[in-house]
């Protein structure tokens, strides 16, 4: 945490106002202590890792790590209705902790990585599972966690396959985004040719999953399991 590249994020998030940045960082450190973040990976996440898959195996052409999530694998309504929303929120914190921790780890190792890329594939979005009031609350919680505890971790947020039904949800969410997050956001609809062209500028095909036009097979997927037997 004492690396300049880490500390600069907190300064940028508060427009280099040093007292504000210091308070921001100290609030984050208190949150880490209060929520036992140093031991979060020791908890049993086997059920959530199955129900809410994400992948961190890809890299862009510059070596940036990628957090990839397909919305069809995240049933936000189920988490809310089964009384597991608090646990789901902690799982989100764990996901962001792992993704941004990987950015820091690669930066320390290779010295040329300071940010990562988040890709959200919104194919499979529906208003029942993802657009309900409880779901929107969970979506906003993801944004709040990122902004409060991992500012500047992502260089790009790439949304693909955004249907018309999801646009009001995203528009509402963007009102609470930090300006830097809004600038990093790239949103593409269901025109596959358009977003595939953009992704190919950033990634080699072997770093994109098949649903994004690549050849990457993530570990733990059904396709990966099929290959093993």
Distance of CA 156 to the CA centre of its chain: 10
- Report pLDDT digits (tens) over 31-86: 999 999 999 999 999 989 888 999 999 999 999 999 999 988 888 888 878 878 88
Of 129, 117, 119, 123, nearest in space to 78 by CA: 129
Write down the pTM of the prediction: 0.90
Domain ranges for the chain:
1-34, 45-228
In this structure, what DSSP letter does residue 93 have?
Answer: H
pLDDT at 226 over 50: no
pLDDT at 6 over 80: no
Average pLDDT over residues 103-122: 92
- Give buried/exposed letters for 149-172 (b at 16+ CB in 10 A, else e): bbbbbbbbbbbbbbeeebeebbee
Average pLDDT over residues 190-216: 97
**172 vs 24, which has greater pLDDT?**
24
Tell me the H-state helices in 56-178.
76-81, 85-110, 127-130, 133-149, 167-174
**133 vs 18, which has greater pLDDT?**
18
Q: Tokens 């190919």, residue?
A: 200
pLDDT of residue 225: 45
Identify the H or E element spanning 154.
strand 154-160
pLDDT of residue 2: 56
Mean pLDDT of the chain: 89
- As its CATH architecture, domain 45-228 has 3-Layer(aba) Sandwich (3.40)
In this structure, what DSSP letter does residue 76 have?
Answer: H
Q: What's the CA gap between 87 and 89, in Å, rounded?
A: 5
pLDDT of residue 228: 37
- Report pLDDT digits (tens) over 130-181: 878 788 778 778 888 999 999 999 999 999 999 887 888 788 888 888 999 9
The winner for highest mean pLDDT among 5-9, 95-99, 134-138, 140-144 is 95-99
How many CB atoms within 10 Å of residue 143? Answer: 15
């Amino acid at each position: 945490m004492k690396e300049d590249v880490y500390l600069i994020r907190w300064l940028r998030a508060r427009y280099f106002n040093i007292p504000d940045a210091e308070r921001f960082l100290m609030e984050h450190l208190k949150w880490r202590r209060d929520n036992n973040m140093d031991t979060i990976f020791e908890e049993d996440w086997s059920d959530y890792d199955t129900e809410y898959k994400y992948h961190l195996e890809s890299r862009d052409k510059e070596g940036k790590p990628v957090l990839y999530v397909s919305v069809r694998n995240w049933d936000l309504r189920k988490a809310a209705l089964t009384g597991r929303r608090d646990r789901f929120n902690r799982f989100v914190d764990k996901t962001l902790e792992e993704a941004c921790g990987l950015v820091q780890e690669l930066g320390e190792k290779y010295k040329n990585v300071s940010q990562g890329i988040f890709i959200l594939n919104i194919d499979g979005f529906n208003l029942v599972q993802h657009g309900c009031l409880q779901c929107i609350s969970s979506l906003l919680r993801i944004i709040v966690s990122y902004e409060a505890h991992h500012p500047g971790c992502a260089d790009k947020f790439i949304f693909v396959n955004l249907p018309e039904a999801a646009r009001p949800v995203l528009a509402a969410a963007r009102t609470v985004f930090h300006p830097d997050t809004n600038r990093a956001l790239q949103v593409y609809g269901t025109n596959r040719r358009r977003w595939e062209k953009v992704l190919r500028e950033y990634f080699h095909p072997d770093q994109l999953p098949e649903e994004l036009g690549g050849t990457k097979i993530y570990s733990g997927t059904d396709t990966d399991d099929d290959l093993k037997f």
